[in-house]
Structure 1
Amino acid sequence: MAMDGATGGTRRGLFLESYGHFIDGAWVGGDSGKTIAVSNPATGAHLSNIQAGNAVDVDRAVQAAHRAFKTWSRTHPRARQQVLQEMARRLRARLADFAMMETVDNGKPISDATMFDIPATAEVYDYFASLPLQIHGETTDFPDSMLLVHREPLGVCAAIVPWNIPLYCTALKVAPALAAGNTVVVKPAESTGLSILEFFKECADILPPGVVNIVTGYGPEAGEPLVRHPLVRKVSFTGSKPTARKIMQYASQNIIPQTMELGGKSANIVCADADLDAAAEGVVMSTVFNKGEVCISGSRTFVHESVMDRFLEKLSAQIGHVRQGDPQDPRTQLGPQASKVQFDKVAGYLELGCAEGAHVLAGGAKASIVGFEQGLFIQPTIFSNVRNDMRIAREEIFGPVTCILGWRDEDEVLALANDTDYGLGGGVWTRDLTRAHRFAREMQTGTVWINRYYNFVPGQPLGGFKQSGFGRENTFETLLHYTQSKAVIVNLTEGPIGLYQG
């Protein structure tokens, strides 16, 4: 069944009343006929309906991507470059619209979406637009032969996108896949996929049919058959460890490569000589940015005991000035959690922290916002007197919650920072350049920021150590994860070797 992007084609504010799957360049209804209601986490208001996809829908999408791969993989690199550049341009041209979509669908403050989500997403497409011409093979000469190594695209790639930063995380997967000549099937999170659907509706005229396909639905019904599909050649996943373990099992059926960007419990280390005002600001930002729903947030802050009292005083003052409320208000700095499931999870950790004996320095409860009584708001929360063996210091909370721990010497704090299953991000606050590099070398984590947390730069590798996953996104190395090498050996000598002559 064909659809003009929606059932009925009626606009309700930013979004259509209902969205189909995007398969082979067209909007189509789902096989089951079932839909999923999507709501605004700040108000509980209904936003739209999406298709509850199943294995039949997935197969249609993968088959379309497989057909498109034959042509797309052989396009001139400049053609792929131009498509990616235009995708970036269209994002920037409608920055305000897409920012508001992310805010209404996810609950993030409009300031976060305007200043980070949309500009950073466009930057990802721009960055990978610069790389198709940089995908090189190599040659090696021998006296009697020549080795040619080609680097070729993989085929159909599955992109499974999380709910916290939808457009940005989609770009981290789609942009390198397209740059390398692959085709893609995207499975957004069922709770926050509306901006993704709108963006690819915006770009449908520049993407050849089947090059990018989108199937919406729940993980077991849509995500699992996508990863298990025999024509899928790679899966890229961002999300939780439990789901990652399932996806790795599914991917093992056809033995396909994976990129996994998982959780974190990152250490923010404040040294005695740090700029305490800047460090406190960094900790607050790491706590409240995107409502703390960021896998790389610095949710464990280690403060040198000699400056603990002064730091906590500054931290308390700054977090007290965080403006929480209507996420559509440009002045708001902290919005609601993205879903009731996430709200309940964070609320459970607030109770657990108190039960474990941590001290609530700030927050610690549900926030009541006038006019948003149905909203899923949590107060920005700081726990002090935390030990590294507490669950609130070991498990990913994924909310506006940070733990404060003390330290005395370098060996101690580095051991504590590394005493975690995760290894995604980290921060060091010090005026001593030698110490900064020494700490950065010893921290077992994929990113270390020195004297400014969340200081993202173009081409920065994103990925983790240990159970934070494997593979890297957002960098040239990413193209290696979306291509494979082929060795071609050319014989330069004439005639047979003479092995079987009489």
Structure 2
Amino acid sequence: MVSYELLVDGDRRSSAETIAVENPATGETVGSVARGDAEDAREAIDAAAAVTDEWGARSPAAYERPLRAVADRIEAEADEIATLLAEETGKCLATAEGEVAESAAQFRYYAGVVDKVRGDTIPTPPNRLNYTRRVPYGVTAHVVPWNYPLLLGTRGIASALATGNTVVAKPPTQAPLTTMWVGEILLDEFPDGVVNVVPGPGSEVGAELASNAGVDAITFTGSTGVGRGVLESAAEHITPVDLELGGKAPSIVLPDADLENAARGVVAGIFSNAGQNCVATSRCLVHESVHDELVEKVVEKTERITLGAGTDPETDMGPVISESAREDVLSYIESAKEQGATLLTGGGVPDEERLADGTFVEPTVFDDVDPSMTVACEEIFGPVLSVITVESTEEAISVANDSPFALAAAIWTDGLEATQLADRLDHGLVAINTFPVSMPQSPWGGNKESGIGREGGLEGVEAFTTVDSVVVEFDEMEDPY
């Protein structure tokens, strides 16, 4: 069983209280972290601020070396990190391994970006020179989510460090252990104060990061409701905020789609990570002409899913993160039944004895879902698929866009007009013949109530820098008076 302390100003600090972390598949305690509070967050912010000017003025090589070292160490320790990630979140080991691999890839990608952060030369009359330069914000606060703590946490941390910022990170309370593991690596590889990690409740640590005047930029991944609160807190000091919030991703299946391929993608898109994914394709918008065949394939594949602990190689889907999360998912399932949706499979808690100690929910498929039903409108964050029948491509596009959420969408078609249809979907990420996927070199973020800004790729450079303009006058000034 692992335990971690606060990581502040190059030191490991204990706290009066600790937070126990349980495996949601078994209920067993797998580790603990120190319970930080608002005062700890303030000390971390002060430590980061004290070294911001010196760190931000270093050469690109000073950023590249530690970023590459972090990538190397994550890869060297990948098996152990992935196992711990599967234990603290319940996710399947294969999913955890992929998350760890992409986290290492993100550090390596941004290590290669450090000497490519540049400004522009602006056209001016010959008596002037105007150029821009990208400069780091300074102290950046990172509030990390529990569903993909490494993937989503390290994306922002890596790009912030690559652009000369300092970091204060708050790991997720439900699953902080692997974030702390990587935090230990960062503490070793970067100068004191550059990276600080303070686990603790969002109401204390997160609230302080969002409202403290010493924070120069904030990145938050989580629910839309909490994101609004972060924006309100940041507004007091006009602090820039990058938000990745809720989603209700549609998966559009058109008549010319390869239905076997589409069914695989629809099932993987909603049941991966037990549906606890901001880009989970929880709405399946299927054309009426292929509805029956697609739904038959989806149900057949869903009923083959094996539930279990993420560390068990036979497991296809793990538990949801907590008992309260399970209660929320089950309440959505009941509302769908009450509002007239047809339950095709799942819909409850598995009755197998081996799963009794975990917070499992059966993978669930509803048919005859109306777009106005609660299950089709709100983010469930669980393994529940809503099948919505459409009569035309136009209707599919309309239903897909008729949501306050606009993080991701998927289209399944063999038609050449796929990219034209993608242009009409108001979503930050559109996947064609696959479910939404993340890559270090690709931007990530949502439209409408799904967020503000983009991380990942070269857009991640923009997320953690501001543009300064410099104007040089070559002629002497005339006497103005």
TM bracket (short chain): over 0.9
Question: What secondary structure sits across from 1:232 in the alignment?
Answer: coil
Equivalent residue for 2:342? 359
Equivalent residue for 2:320? 337
In the comparison of the two structures, how many residue pairs are matched? 480
Tell me which moved more, 386-395 or 76-85. Answer: 76-85
**What is the CA–CA distance in structure 2 between the aligned matches of 1:242 and 1:454, rounded to whole Å?**
23
Match of 2:365 among 352, 371, 382: 382
* Match status 1:201 vs 2:220: no
1:88 deviates by 1.4
Match of 2:331 among 339, 345, 348: 348
| Identical-pair percentage | 35
Tell me which moved more, 151-160 or 86-95. Answer: 86-95
* Match status 1:277 vs 2:263: no
Equivalent residue for 1:90? 73
Structure 2 counterparts to residues 302-317 of structure 1, below 5 A = 302-317=285-300
1:368 deviates by 3.1
- Name the amino acid aligned to 1:132: V
**What is the CA–CA distance in structure 2 between the aligned matches of 1:457 and 1:58, rounded to whole Å?**
31
- Name the amino acid aligned to 2:74: L
- Name the amino acid aligned to 2:200: G
* Match status 1:462 vs 2:447: no
1:326 deviates by 2.2
1:170 deviates by 1.0
**What is the CA–CA distance in structure 2 between the aligned matches of 1:369 and 1:181, rounded to whole Å?**
52
Match of 1:490 among 449, 472, 476: 472
Point out 4+ residue stretches in structure 1 off by more than 3 angstroms. 454-458
1:26 deviates by 1.0
* Match status 1:24 vs 2:9: yes
Q: After superposition, give the CA deviation of every residue in 1:451-481 in whole Å (9 maximum; x if it has no partner).
A: 1113434422111111001101112012112
**What is the CA–CA distance in structure 1 between the aligned matches of 2:323 and 2:29, rounded to whole Å?**
14
* Match status 1:136 vs 2:148: no
Structure 2 counterparts to residues 63-212 of structure 1, below 5 A = 63-114=46-97, 116-140=98-122, 141-212=124-195
**What is the CA–CA distance in structure 2 between the aligned matches of 1:254 and 1:312, rounded to whole Å?**
51
Question: What secondary structure sits across from 2:49 in the alignment?
Answer: helix
Cα RMSD, aligned residues only: 1.3
1:102 deviates by 0.8
**What is the CA–CA distance in structure 1 between the aligned matches of 2:108 and 2:45, rounded to whole Å?**
26
Question: What secondary structure sits across from 2:405 in the alignment?
Answer: coil
Equivalent residue for 1:62? 45
Equivalent residue for 1:260? 243
Contact 1:363–1:380 (Cα < 8 Å) also in 2: yes
1:35 deviates by 2.4
Equivalent residue for 1:6? none
Equivalent residue for 1:499? 480
- Name the amino acid aligned to 2:392: D
**What is the CA–CA distance in structure 1 between the aligned matches of 2:299 and 2:383, rounded to whole Å?**
14
* Match status 1:36 vs 2:19: yes
Contact 2:438–2:444 (Cα < 8 Å) also in 1: no
**What is the CA–CA distance in structure 2 between the aligned matches of 1:315 and 1:461, rounded to whole Å?**
30
Contact 1:267–1:427 (Cα < 8 Å) also in 2: yes
Equivalent residue for 1:429? 412
Give the TM-score, by structure 2 length. Answer: 0.97
**What is the CA–CA distance in structure 2 between the aligned matches of 1:142 and 1:224, rounded to whole Å?**
49
Pair 1:211–1:369, CA change in 2 (3 A): farther
Q: After superposition, give the CA deviation of every residue in 1:360-416 in whole Å (9 maximum; x if it has no partner).
A: 111100123433311000111111110000000000000111100111112211111
**What is the CA–CA distance in structure 2 between the aligned matches of 1:460 and 1:137, rounded to whole Å?**
21
**What is the CA–CA distance in structure 2 between the aligned matches of 1:412 and 1:159, rounded to whole Å?**
39
- Name the amino acid aligned to 1:499: P
* Match status 1:300 vs 2:283: yes
1:60 deviates by 0.7
1:177 deviates by 0.3
Contact 2:335–2:375 (Cα < 8 Å) also in 1: yes
**What is the CA–CA distance in structure 2 between the aligned matches of 1:398 and 1:176, rounded to whole Å?**
27
Q: Which runs of 5+ in 1 are unaligned?
A: 1-11
Equivalent residue for 1:401? 384
- Name the amino acid aligned to 2:467: S
Equivalent residue for 2:431? 449
1:497 deviates by 0.7
* Match status 1:440 vs 2:422: yes
Give the TM-score, by structure 1 length. Answer: 0.93
Match of 1:475 among 457, 465, 470: 457
- Name the amino acid aligned to 2:346: G
1:162 deviates by 0.7
1:51 deviates by 2.4
1:331 deviates by 2.4
- Name the amino acid aligned to 1:24: D
**What is the CA–CA distance in structure 1 between the aligned matches of 2:225 and 2:436, rounded to whole Å?**
26
Tell me which moved more, 271-280 or 448-457. Answer: 448-457
Question: What secondary structure sits across from 1:283 in the alignment?
Answer: helix
- Name the amino acid aligned to 1:498: D
**What is the CA–CA distance in structure 1 between the aligned matches of 2:313 and 2:185, rounded to whole Å?**
25
Equivalent residue for 2:221? 238
Question: What secondary structure sits across from 1:205 in the alignment?
Answer: helix
**What is the CA–CA distance in structure 2 between the aligned matches of 1:68 and 1:330, rounded to whole Å?**
45
Equivalent residue for 2:351? 368
Q: Which runs of 5+ in 2 are unaligned?
A: none
Contact 1:303–1:406 (Cα < 8 Å) also in 2: yes
**What is the CA–CA distance in structure 2 between the aligned matches of 1:366 and 1:99, rounded to whole Å?**
27
